[in-house]
Structure 1
Amino acid sequence: MTVYLHDFDGKHSLTMNTGGLAADAAVTAAGHEPNGYFWEGLVRFAWPDIAEHLDFDSEAGTFCAIGGASDLARLRTVVESVITAPDTVRGIIARAETSGFEFDD
């Protein structure tokens, strides 16, 4: 499992180590760095309805979202579906760039 849900004294977070993911080559080919900041941007663009309920604390080697358990469970489902799907990631990046969205990677 690459995506982890954590519960520390009632505070919930989701983390994912970046690098070595199946979608990394697609991210790099699109001119981006497949780091925590990139994945944070992808989540903010692709799933704003989930992202608006979360706080983020990503770093170069780690994606991190903090929020309610149900929002993080939804996030886990969508993130797990794209980190193994380079074509899906390419499509999201293309839509983001067309809309003028800028990734902070």
Structure 2
Amino acid sequence: SVTCRDCHRDPNPPGADAQEAHKKMKTEGATCIDCHQNLVHEEAPMTDLNASLAAGKMVLKPDEDEEDEDDEEDEEEDEDSASEVTASEEDDDEEDDDDE
């Protein structure tokens, strides 16, 4: 919340609902980010903390959409490989039938 407060000096918003919500900061130990993450400003990219610490610089996490696409491609490749194996086994069975 210190980062938010660098620009937003007054944590007491106008309006009863907002004031009630902001009581969580005092009573429940909530932070600005708990409620306002990517809601107030343009969406910020998510960082990979472990990779960032290891690299000594900020490393962004891949977009979830990209991960989903990669997973789908992997599944399709696995299905294609399984189909090829099944087709090869069927060819082998046909050859065995011809030998009899």
TM-score category (smaller protein): under 0.3
Computing the radius of gyration from Cα coordinates, the structure with the larger value is 2
TM-score normalized by structure 1?
A: 0.21
The structure carrying a bigger helix percent of its residues is 2
Q: Which has the higher contact order (CA 8 A, sep 6+)?
A: 1
TM-score normalized by structure 2?
A: 0.22
